[in-house]
Each structure stands twice: as C-alpha cells, then as structure tokens.
Amino acid sequence: MSEWMLGAAAALVLLVLLLVWWRQRRPAMAEAEVHFRRPGGLLNRSEAAFMELLKEATGDQFRIYPKVALGRLITPMAPAAQGQETEASWPAALAGEHADFVLCSKDDYAVIAVIALHSEPAAAQAEVGFDPVEDALAAAEISVARFNPKHQYTVSEVQKQLADSLSLPVKVFGQATHRLADTDASAAKSPHRGPGGHSLCPACGAAMVQRRANQGKFAGKLFWVCSRFPTCKKVLPVKG
C-alpha cells in the first residue's frame, strides 16, 4: 500500500474518532446550558417598596444601590512580614455575600453606609457568636443601619432610624427636627447653608453632617464632617 493511502486511512480514522468524541460531549454541554437562566426581578416586592421609601427618606443628597456584592465594598487584607497589609483571599464565610442596600454620596459615589433588611444580625451570629458580614464591614469602618423587613415604616421613621444608626442629625435626611442628642441649632456654629437648608462643606461644597467623638480628648463633643469623607476630610468644630 502506498504512503498516500496510509496517510488517508490514518486521517479517516482520526476523523471518525473526533466525531465519536463530539457526539459524546454534546449531551453534557447541552445539560450544562440548562443551569443558566435569567432570574426574576433584582428585588422582590417588599424590597422594591422599601427602596422607594429609602429614596423618599434620603432625598436628592444621596444615591441608593441594591444588592451590592461585598467584594465591591471591602477588600480582605492580611498583615505582611514587614508590617504592611497585603490583599488576602476571601474567607469562606464571606464568599458570595452582598449588602441589601448601599447609601452613597451623590457627588462622588463614596460609600456612607450599608442598609440591612433584618432586625437582628444574620443567623450566622447565633451559631458562631458573631456576624461575619457585619464584623467585616465594621473592620472596614462602614456603618450599618438595620431595618426590620416586617415593619411598615413611614418616611420619618426611616429618617430617624438612619440618623440614630449612623450617628447623624435627622436634618441630614430632610427633616427640620433634630435628635435629642444633637446640639440645639441656635447654639451651634454651623457651616454655610445652601438653598436646600443643608450645611455645606467650605472645601468642596458637599453637605456636611454632625458626628460625636466617641473617644480621645474630644470624646462626647460634636463636630462637623464632610459627607464625602474620606474623599474630602474637611472637619469643623461645633461651638456653643
């Protein structure tokens, strides 16, 4: 048999083997495709209603984003041998987790707080003694405002609970009233106010909010801080 005939026979055998392999693989590929489907809406009915309530309660000073992956908010870090932190792999307890809603600055999208739709820390806390998601957010210095999904909130209740959870004056969210812990407006030295009544940062023009120092020599004192923090670090004292 000549060499070209041997080559043709070998090519034919190879082609037959490839066809057999392809026929065996096609059912597995078709089965894998069934695992991909378009889900329903991003939010269920109660979540969508609560988001509309959040929008009304926070006004036009902030942006609200739902179902934000935890990996978009924080990065796990591990200490290096030289004492400098380096990026680490995600702990198994946090993989695939997300925040229900994220409150951001309108101007630069800086994260102000995470809003959680559960009245108590997640079920994982009852099992292991802590909530890994909220602990991770706390380590990254991101505040969490927690709401009970079974409660029918009013706009003013949402504003007050946001203020209480984030240690902010209620007026930041559009209310004219103040929390009892806030300094009386007539006694406070406030930054310049804009047309909407919000105190404005003299450095960048964004809304300023009041916070109370929890530790150090200024513990218990009120001060003004830019809502774009940490992008803008302007701080002003509140003087009586």
Judge whether residue 221 has pLDDT over 60. yes
Residues 208-219: what's their mean pLDDT?
70
Residues 13-22: what's their mean pLDDT?
74
- The DSSP annotation for 18-55 comes to HHHHHHHHHHHHHHHHTT----S-SS-HHHHHHHHHHH
Q: Note the maximum CA span of the chain.
A: 107
Amino acid identity for residue 22 in this structure: W
* Predicted TM-score of the model (pTM): 0.57
User: Which pLDDT band holds residue 41 (cuts at 50, 70, 90)?
Assistant: confident
pLDDT of res. 93 = 78
pLDDT of res. 182 = 39
Judged by phi (left if over 0) then psi (alpha if -120 to 50, else beta), residue 83 lies in left
Query: What is the edge-to-edge ordering of all strands in the sheet holding 208-212?
Result: 208-212, 222-226, 235-237
More confident residue, 91 or 116: 116
Residues 81-93: what's their mean pLDDT?
75
Amino acid identity for residue 151 in this structure: H
Judge whether residue 40 has pLDDT over 70. yes
Judge whether residue 88 has pLDDT over 90. no
User: Which pLDDT band holds residue 101 (cuts at 50, 70, 90)?
Assistant: very high
Token readout for 159 is 């504003």
pLDDT of res. 218 = 61
